[in-house]
Structure 1
Amino acid sequence: MDAVARPASGSQGFQPAPLNRLPGEPPSPGQAFFLQAEDGLRLRLGLWQPRDAATGTVLLFPGRTEYLEKYDGIATRLAAGGFAVLAIDWRGQGLSDRLLRDPRAGHIADFADYQNDVVEIVVAADTLGLPRPWHLLAHSMGGCIGLAALLNGLPVETAAFSAPMWGLHHPRVPDAVITGLTGIARRLGRAELTAIGTGSGGTYLLDAPFRGNALTGDPVQWARLVAQAGSWPELTLGGATYAWIAAARAECRRLGALPSPDLPALIAVGGAEAVVSATAIHIRAAAWPQAQLLDLPGARHELMFEAAPVAERFLSSAVALFRG
């Protein structure tokens, strides 16, 4: 892709990066590249552009443990609809630099660090000359990062959220217990250890059976996600550290006390959501004057990778929002 191979003067030093595809997958216009963030970390971004002139750009913010390959089909569909798409592997996951000696640990010291990645996305989109208006498409942890970015002035016209992480879901463990465990871990210098109950060093997609999984009820989508995780284990991530849990809870509390951004939004949540707090999603949606809440009965966490009627309803609603 010319924009990546010959970046404009003053770019962030884009370097080609791999973007894996499973055998038999349809062609994709996507390409990936590395850039060095201002704090020295190497980040991987992916770019999908339509065949003809784009009518706008979608900034795609993935969730925890995720990687560009997972969204190749979604981004390709958006590109076929006339949008450029720019996505990222957040620091600490995918092919972006990992943050700990243990590459399996999902770690962050402060969610504010993710906003440094957001800055790099915006600078990259500007450097690449990606057409405006820009829009946000954010899933799970990406929804938490995205809401913070909107409140920081992210230059988008609309935002679509899939199961945004605006609160953690832990019905079997009281808040006081989690607070106590994370506090003890910090005091003992163990905050970078994987927290009990978050999956240790394994990969959820490879460890969990399809029956009763928390992500999707669609066997075809599940099989694709499992195939990706099995084919490219270097992209995957294990459980979250105590530091990540503490930082995530602190960020959700901080955002919960702030007003909603002044822009149109789509907020979608499944009726069988069991990864993030559905209650927090409903509270935010009710307090966002320009937001449309899309309840999807029976859907699990991965709304874009659910059964076709569910995924189509969310994606078509998001595209309608982007088109205005």
Structure 2
Amino acid sequence: MIPNAPLHEDVADAPPDGRAVWLFAEDGARIRAAHWLPEGPAKGTVFLFPGRTEYIEKYGQVIGDLVAAGHAVLVVDWRGQGLSTRLLDNPLSGHVEVFHDYQKDVAALVDYAQSLDLPRPWRLLAHSMGGTIALRALLNGMDVQSVALSAPMWGITIPGAVRPLLHAAAIVAKRVGHGHRQSPGIKNAAYPEPRAFEDNRLTHDREQYRRMTDQTRTHHGLALGPPSLSWLAEALDECHDLAKAASPEIPCLAMIGTDESIVKNDEIRRRMATWPGGELLEIDGARHECLMETPERRRKAIGACLAHFERY
């Protein structure tokens, strides 16, 4: 029997009757997942892959939109964040030993979906780091009919002069056993920080930002801070490797904000220009969180996802 896991419904703003469970990846990492079913016949199941620092509850409103449109939804907390296994003694440090370890989490999630016989067709919605993991999963043969991506992390914005030095330092630190250390110059604090709305790079919507900070302030176990040097080295290497791979022949919608400053929009534009059946939507003025922006921008992003899933 699969054990139940906590689901913080008091802060999630998600539909009722969601069920959270503990899954175990092949290497023993404990992974939290949760799923919801619509009231009537389902149009299929949407796998939801969050970004770095994120957790299931953050996507409560997005889950609500998908369920209201008739989709079942299955969401994951990646290893090292949310309520899944934390990998370092410092719980605020975002860490992974090998980026491909996230594919073990994907495998556990797919096994769980199969055990529940979740409605088909299966589709995929991913944000930021979730878009990196999603592209690798698709290249590995994950069986989905279509995919929608919000600000996929196919390149990380680092100032040009600093980038090669930081990448080299992260690789060396990992090789000499210091990969667990945090990236230099970043304070050990949970993201997003309360009282930092004016300087945030996530959203223009003050209420959405308050919702994010209230969630981690109410349930400290959801919070995550800066990445480790190991995570940084692995993420940059994975982005480099993926850039050399051809896009899969699966209908794909990618959404980016014109006010993006965390991931590289040019890398997204480059890939989507040659993705078979690919479509790129640029949302004017949106920051990194297209799905959690001001109401008009958010409606545009959610509406595009739902329309894409109706077509494919």
3-state secondary structure, aligned to 1:86: strand
Does the Cα contact within 8 Å between 2:129 and 2:152 map onto a contact in 1? Answer: yes
2:40 is equivalent to residue 52 of structure 1: yes
Task: Provide the TM-score with structure 1 as the length reference.
Answer: 0.92
Cα distance per residue 1:73-95 (max 9 Å; x no partner): 21122111110000000011101
Aligned residue number for residue 15 of structure 1: 3
For 1:322 and 1:117, the matched residues in 2 are separated by 24
**Which one is further off, 64-73 or 199-208?**
199-208
Distance 1:24 1:72, change over 3 A: closer
2:53 is equivalent to residue 65 of structure 1: yes
Does the Cα contact within 8 Å between 2:36 and 2:74 map onto a contact in 1? Answer: yes
Distance 1:204 1:23, change over 3 A: closer
The CA deviation at 1:189 is 2.2
The CA deviation at 1:38 is 1.9
The CA deviation at 1:233 is 1.2
Does the Cα contact within 8 Å between 1:206 and 1:229 map onto a contact in 2? Answer: no
2:275 is equivalent to residue 288 of structure 1: yes
What is the aligned counterpart of 2:264 among 272, 277, 280? 277
- Corresponding residue pairs, total: 311
Aligned residue number for residue 3 of structure 1: none
**Equivalent residues in 2 for 1:167-178, closer than 5 Å:** 167-171=155-159, 173-178=161-166
1:144 aligned partner, one-letter code: T
Does the Cα contact within 8 Å between 1:48 and 1:76 map onto a contact in 2? Answer: no
For 1:249 and 1:26, the matched residues in 2 are separated by 33
For 2:246 and 2:171, the matched residues in 1 are separated by 29
**Equivalent residues in 2 for 1:102-251, closer than 5 Å:** 102-171=90-159, 173-197=161-185, 199-206=186-193, 209-251=196-238
Structure 2: runs of 5 or more not aligned: none
3-state secondary structure, aligned to 1:159: strand
The CA deviation at 1:206 is 2.2
Does the Cα contact within 8 Å between 1:30 and 1:76 map onto a contact in 2? Answer: no
RMSD, matched Cα: 1.6
The CA deviation at 1:183 is 3.1
For 1:26 and 1:96, the matched residues in 2 are separated by 19
Does the Cα contact within 8 Å between 1:206 and 1:230 map onto a contact in 2? Answer: no
Does the Cα contact within 8 Å between 2:72 and 2:118 map onto a contact in 1? Answer: yes
For 1:26 and 1:68, the matched residues in 2 are separated by 10
Cα distance per residue 1:51-78 (max 9 Å; x no partner): 1121100000000010000011211221
2:295 is equivalent to residue 308 of structure 1: yes
For 2:14 and 2:281, the matched residues in 1 are separated by 30
Distance 1:257 1:118, change over 3 A: same
What is the aligned counterpart of 1:254 among 241, 247, 258? 241
Cα distance per residue 1:228-247 (max 9 Å; x no partner): 11111111111101110000
The CA deviation at 1:289 is 2.5
The CA deviation at 1:24 is 10
The CA deviation at 1:25 is 4.4
Task: Provide the TM-score with structure 2 as the length reference.
Answer: 0.96
3-state secondary structure, aligned to 1:320: helix
The CA deviation at 1:26 is 6.8
For 1:113 and 1:87, the matched residues in 2 are separated by 17
Distance 1:113 1:212, change over 3 A: same
What is the aligned counterpart of 1:321 among 284, 288, 308? 308
For 1:292 and 1:53, the matched residues in 2 are separated by 28
Does the Cα contact within 8 Å between 1:55 and 1:82 map onto a contact in 2? Answer: yes
For 2:247 and 2:172, the matched residues in 1 are separated by 34
The CA deviation at 1:207 is 5.0
3-state secondary structure, aligned to 1:38: coil
3-state secondary structure, aligned to 1:211: helix
The CA deviation at 1:281 is 0.9
The CA deviation at 1:14 is 1.5
Distance 1:24 1:234, change over 3 A: closer
For 2:78 and 2:59, the matched residues in 1 are separated by 14
The CA deviation at 1:23 is 6.2
Structure 1 moving runs of 4+ over 4 Å: 23-27
For 1:24 and 1:14, the matched residues in 2 are separated by 22
What is the aligned counterpart of 1:43 among 31, 34, 37? 31
The CA deviation at 1:32 is 0.8
Identity rate, percent: 42
3-state secondary structure, aligned to 2:10: coil
Does the Cα contact within 8 Å between 1:201 and 1:237 map onto a contact in 2? Answer: no
